[in-house]
Structure 1
Amino acid sequence: MKTSNQPSIRPDVLGAFYITRAMIKTLALAIICLLIFGRCAQEVVPTGGKKDSIPPNLVESNPLNKTLNFKGRKIELFFDEYVVVDNINQKLIITPEADNPYSYKQNGMSVLLTFKNEFKDSTTFTLNFGDAIKDFAEKNPAKNLKLVFSTSNTLDSARIYGSLKDIKTNKPIFDALVGLYNVTDTLNIAKQKPYYFSRTDTSGVFSIENIQSREYKLIAIDDKNRNMLYNAKDERMGFISKPIKAGSDSASYNLTMFLSDNTLLKIQRTIPRVNNYSVVFSKPIEKVNVTFMNKDTLPYLLENGGALKFFNVQPHPDSTLVKLSVTDSLGTVTDFDQKIAFQAPRGKERQKDPFTISTMPESNKPVTNTFTYKLILNKPVQFIDDQKITLITDSLTHEPLNAFKYEWNTNHNILSISAKSFAKDTVKWDLPKGSIISVEGDTLAKMLLRHPILKEEDYGQIKGAVINADTSMRFIVELVDEQYKIFESLYSSPYTFRHIPQGKYFLRIIVDKNRNKRWDTGELDKDLQPEPIYYMPDKILLKANFELNDVNITIPK
């Protein structure tokens, strides 16, 4: 019998051995598959799930909303998620105006406000946070986040609400300050802040809540720099003439805002030059009367509504005394005594400003065969040759300026012409060199001002009437484009707007109370409201060669 030196293996052990080898093979095969197919698999960025659009919710506050007899200096808000604070010093509105500085601390899911002083006694305070507190992840602002508490044993419950629009455009005004002021004889909103206030939303709507039941003056201002004070030079304002009574019931008020620069008119600076001397005023002016205090006179004109320029013409004394009677946009007249003294010439020849011209209508704008035309010069005119200046009709007929009626303005720099032609295609004004000479002795280069003849089929027409107008009422009917630029103003009813370019327009009516054929603004100090402006509710769409009839506008009774 043959013998072997190999150890014997039990059958059960041998089976276990084979199972283990099979497992190893399977595992190796799985690894190979993962390596092969893993390389071929496309890499995909894992999605982060649905975007969080839920704003943080206030779950608790200290003090609680509508707490009575609050005497603390700390206010803490607790939310259901992590939050961040965004520009809270600008967005948190505390009414009434507390004049109580505070600091804030953001701590995960809570915000703590610490005030320097305790709140005024026997007063209901409202803290409106706007969108100053947002969630950490998506910056969703907490909605309608407001806290009300009282330092007495009762809550004030009166409410004032309403809307705010611009009187010129009829559009709602966003983020304007609407304030309730204490009624006093010395109220000055340029120096006094409102006692209660709110800001308008995107629809121009405001609401002031939890206020004391008494009388207030209701005033709205732009408050562009957010200092809660009125800057008359560049901020609009609006007001209710009589004091309003805040009671237990809510009351609604609609205000219109307007510019009303009631600042004192001053001479801001003077600009002496060799050729001219400018007096610059602190705000726009409507007109100025100049009285020369000696026998000497100087030509002058008003530039851009804010500067009065005198021209240096020889001979004249070293200085000229004048009395200025200046009317501003509010109709206020202010008198000034002014000395005009030009700079001494330094070179052999004086350097003159260029002599320029503009026209109304502008060059290349269409005109009808009967039209009014204006030549506008930047210097007073000393001489015009009304025989050499001609109107050329279709390049055939030449008519001299003296064949038409024309007149100068007071300062002799605007020439108004009533012209008529029989042109079919174009008219041209021919201005030869030397035909217009300024007071400084310079002239324009030769010019040809061309205008096509207006074709009726390219334009539309609007006809209508003013409804509910009293026989004694005077009004101005205006058609304005989408940028509120005035197309034309009419002063009677029925009215017809002719030769209107295709486009979209608004129709509005101004109640001309003082019958001066212009809109006049209001003044808070005189308790004077601006002249009312009423808009037709719907925008007008006008197509070329179309006529719209019975486009009527109603004056509310």
Structure 2
Amino acid sequence: MGGPRDQEPPVLLESNPTNQSINTSPEEIKLTFDEYIKLDNPSKGTVITPRIDKDKVVFTALKNVVTIKLNQELEDSTTYVFNFQKSIVDISEENPAENLKLVFSTGNSIDSLSISGSINFHFPASKPDYKNIVVGIYPLGDTTDVFTAPPYYLSEVDTLGNFAITNIKNGNYLAYAWRDANGTLKAESKSEEYDFLLDTLKLEKNIENVRFNLSKGDLTPIRIVRTAPFGKNFDILLNRTPVETQIENKDLGKEFFYTFSDNRIRIFPNSPKADSIPFNLNVKDSVGFVKDSLIWAKFPESERRPEKLQITANSGKSFYKDLEIELKFNKPIKSISLDSLFITYDTASIIPVRRSMMAFEDSIKMDLLKIRLSIPDSISKDIFTIKASDSTFIDIENQLNETPLSANYRKLKRESLADEIKGSILGAKPPFIVQLINSKNETVREQFLESSNDYSFKLLEAGTFKIRVIEDLNGNKRWDPSNFNQRRLAERVFYFFNAEQEQALLIRSGWTLDEQNINATDPTGIQKRAENHVDNL
């Protein structure tokens, strides 16, 4: 009362067994401190290696003594490590005991081998978050893995993204890293980032410079959840969003059209059908799982009222010379009245939208209309607005747009543009996807480099950007996550960093930035200076 605030952590005075003791197999562990202490979620906060059944372990604290009852037999000739991290704190100010670790062996020697390295993220947050990142290893031949059981040895990652697993018995191991957000010491592929080494670690001496690159990769195979008529239409509901969708029917694009949104494929007929109609459906998800099905769809008469026609425009976009407008519809479009579709740039001037300016992205979906036209420099206005009155668009269910369309686009002046950003990609081979990302984390430009390491973005709106590169190994023009079941790693993703080791790249009007080179990050695995420890078993 009235004295200085306690800022000193509790200090361990003695332990039973003692640290580094051998030939001991305790039923319980006692830790005695120099002040009264309490426990802060010790079951989760204490890392015990190798793996034991933590559900049987009971932690208690009385005055200045912590007692740990193991309630299980320990393995013979094995070194155990109890890393208490921040789970033991003093009563007064909850200062955690620092660097508190107990090591003992049930055999006549202490295992001393170690594995160390670092963590990277393919898609990092603005500030890398290493909280709850765990690195674990499993003995080769163990029937469990990172998705089914806690690891045999493990370590948490520090605030700089580094890790070290110590006191390991020599042998062959499989290694994993993941974000253990729910504290189960297992990875959840649906929600948690993870990575794994393809090669077996042959641990005969210390292994350093192990690299993990974390990203998400949902291993739930894609499947059809439900199929059923929806009014006059037919729905196919999937459990997840595919990256590739193929629907085959000889009348698709003539008698039938479809849309896809929210994991739902909806097939629209031009008119009700008396018989069931066959459709071949082939869908592929991001990790490579494929579902191929023959579906018999019914399109009955129905009194169900059709959904209203809705339009979403890519309004707010800036452009230099070519105005590119996208109109997304919730249903396939059957007809457009060009008389009421135009672009205006002042109260008296309009540009009619002509058939030659328009194209649907997919003729068997007819739900994404692209309008493109060049705006001459002689028109000095800044804002261009596409307008469509009500009843301009008619969908396949004969519904008209009830609300007029109005969407604005901003024309940029040449003198306000930066000239170019260019550079080379070092330490990797094409093909590459190079993305220019603005301060809102939107991809504003994208290039596919099939055979070149040199990128260039010209005539850019001034601002702050970052550049992301995807090492597109299979050339499918998208990033592919890992597939643990197929033993395939995620495609590497790396970024431009400035002299201050930040991703921000500032460019102003009239500027040209050359030699903005991008270094590929280290791949998953043991880096070359330590590669002699890898054994392809």
Same fold by TM (over 0.5)?
Answer: yes
Other-structure match for 2:373: 419
Deviation at 1:482, TM superposition (A): 5.2
Q: Does the 8 Å CA contact 1:459/1:543 hold for their aligned counterparts?
A: no
Cross-structure match for 2:329: 377
Q: Displacement, 1:510?
A: 2.0
**Percentage identity across aligned positions?**
26
**Which residues of 2 match residues 298-317 of structure 1 at below 5 A?**
298-304=256-262, 306-311=263-268, 313-317=270-274
Question: Could you report, residue by residue, the CA deviation over 1:480-538 in whole angstroms, capped at 9, with x for unpaired residues?
Answer: 245644232123434025333523x3223222222222222222232222222222223
Whole-angstrom CA distance in 1 between matches of 2:18 and 2:510? 65
Q: Which residue of 2 aligns with 1:352?
A: 306
- Does the 8 Å CA contact 2:431/2:472 hold for their aligned counterparts? yes
In structure 2, how many angstroms separate the alpha carbons of the residues matched to 1:421 and 1:487?
20
Moved more, 308-317 or 192-201: 308-317
Larger radius of gyration: 1
The alignment covers a number of residue pairs equal to 503
Equivalent residues of 2:221, 2:289 under 8 A apart? no
Mapped partners of 2:394, 2:293: distance in 1 = 31
The answer as to 2:88 corresponding to 1:128 is no
- How far apart, in 2, do the equivalents of 1:203 and 1:330 lie? 30
Flag the 1:459–1:63 CA change in 2: closer, same or farther, 3 A.
Answer: farther
| Distance in 1 of aligned mates of 2:95 and 2:424 | 50
1:95 aligned to 2:49? yes
Higher relative contact order (CA 8 A, sep 6+): 2
Structure 1 distance, partners of 2:497, 2:405, is 46
Q: State the partner residue of 2:477.
A: 517
Q: Does the aligned pair in 2 maintain the 1:522–1:531 contact within 8 Å?
A: yes
Structure 1 residues 200, 484: closer, same or farther in 2, change over 3 A? farther
* 3-state SS, counterpart of residue 465 of structure 1: strand
Aligned runs of 1:34-73 on 2, under 5 Å? 48-73=2-27
1:156-176 deviations in Å (ceiling 9; x for gaps): 101111111211228353212
1:73-84 matched pairs, under 5 angstroms: 73-84=27-38
Query: What is aligned with 1:429?
Result: 386
Q: Is contact 1:159–1:209 with CA below 8 Å preserved after alignment?
A: yes
Contact preservation (8 Å) 1:392, 1:428 = yes
Aligned to 1:536: 496
Instruction: Name the counterpart of 1:448.
Output: 406
**CA-to-partner distance for each residue in 1:134-168, whole Å, 9 max, x for gaps?**
01100111111111111111111011111112112
Instruction: Give the equivalent residue in structure 2 for 1:149.
Output: 104
Whole-angstrom distance in 2 between the partners of 1:167 and 1:134: 36
Q: Is the 8 A contact 1:175 1:202 kept in 2?
A: no
**Aligned residue among 330, 333, 357 for 1:404:** 357
Cα deviation, residue 438, structure 1? 0.5
Equivalent residue runs for 1:429-508 within 5 Å? 429-444=386-401, 445-456=403-414, 460=418, 462-468=420-426, 473-481=430-438, 484-492=441-449, 493-503=454-464, 505-508=465-468
Would you identify which runs of 4 or more consecutive aligned residues in structure 1 move more than 6 Å?
293-296
Q: Which residue of 1 aligns with 2:527?
A: none
Q: Counterpart of 1:6?
A: none
Per the alignment, residue 43 of structure 1 pairs with none
Q: What letter is aligned with 1:126?
A: V
CA shift at 1:389, angstroms? 2.1
| Whole-Å separation in 2 of the counterparts to 1:417 and 1:478 | 24
Shifted more, 154-163 versus 479-488: the winner is 479-488
- How many angstroms apart in 1 are the aligned matches of 2:201 and 2:487? 14
Relative distance call for 1:133 and 1:499 in structure 2 (3 A) is same
Q: CA RMSD in A?
A: 2.7
> Is 1:182–1:217's contact at 8 Å kept on the other side of the alignment?
yes
- Which residue number corresponds to residue 517 of structure 2? 553
Q: 2:62 matched to which residue of 1?
A: 107
Asked if 1:162 corresponds to 2:117, the answer is yes
| Cα separation, partners in 2 of 1:219 and 1:483, compared to 1, 3 Å | farther
- Aligned to 2:256, the other structure's residue is in SS state coil
Aligned mates of 1:83, 1:367 — CA distance in 2: 64
Structure 1 unaligned regions, length at least 5: 1-46
Q: Are the structure 2 counterparts of residues 551 and 354 from structure 1 closer, same or farther at C-alpha, using a change threshold of 3 Å?
A: farther
Deviates more, 1:98-107 or 1:540-549: 540-549
Between the aligned partners of 2:341 and 2:85, the Cα distance in structure 1 is 66
| 2: CA distance, partners of 1:185 / 1:104 | 29
Contact 2:89 2:96 in 1 (8 A): yes
2:434–2:455 CA contact under 8 A, matched in 1: no
Give the distance between the partners of 1:458 and 1:481, measured in 2 at CA: 17
Distance 1:94-1:494 versus aligned 2 partners, 3 A rule: closer
Q: Distance in 2 between matches of 1:531 and 1:523?
A: 11
**Alpha-carbon deviation of 1:467?**
4.4
